[in-house]
Amino acid sequence: MPQNSEKRRTKWYEKVLKCLTEDPTKSPHQMAKDLGTYRQLIWRMRRKLEKDKVIWGYTAVVDDGKLNHVMYVILMKLGPMTRDLAHLIIERMVTRAPKKQNVRLLNVLYVNGEFDLLVMFTAPDHASARRYFDSLRIAYKDFLVERPIIVDVNFPIIREGKVNPELKKLHDFVPM
């Protein structure tokens, strides 16, 4: 019997999680109505997902172009992960170094493949982006295998799992 109870709970966690990723602004009442259950169950499962850090937080997906900001991606090749490198990455996040440099971090990912660290951010201008890029090069100089690469994003197609509502503007990039 406990296994069936656990399976039911897992099924509901997945349903609640799917609902939250589709629209985190939806009320527990509306979610319960959509899922055919009661509000208290939704509330308990949501709190459990948050407590277990399955859900880290909620965010708005912002069209940075409408704020006259440009999105950038920095790709970094680093040596093997060490305590010092881990400490540096953590320290830069805790001290909010990017915010002090007038950039907004979107994603920082430790990845596997050709590159090791992927940093996505927005900046109000190229000068701010360049200062942030240079600050990363200086901060990580002892860990870099190659010079980092920075690119600016022409058009976001999907961000945070959400399809750009102005997707048809991708046609603007078709050569004449």
Q: Between β-strands 117-123 and 70-76, what pairing exists: parallel, antiparallel or unpaired? A: antiparallel
d(CA 42, CA 131): 45
Give the model confidence (pLDDT) of 149-159 as tens digits: 999 999 999 99
- Number of H helices and E strands in the chain, helices first, is 6, 6
Q: Between β-strands 149-152 and 117-123, what pairing exists: parallel, antiparallel or unpaired? A: unpaired
Does the pLDDT value for residue 4 go beyond 80?
A: no
Phi, psi at residue 119, to the nearest 5°?
-120, 120
3-state SS, residue 40: helix
pLDDT, the chain, mean: 90
In this structure, the number of other CB atoms found within 10 A of the CB of residue 46 comes to 19
The token pair that represents 17 in the structure block: 């999680």
Give the model confidence (pLDDT) of 92-126 as tens digits: 888 877 777 889 999 999 999 999 999 999 999 99
Most confident of the ranges 2-6, 63-67, 105-109: 105-109
64-155 folds as Alpha-Beta Plaits (3.30.70)
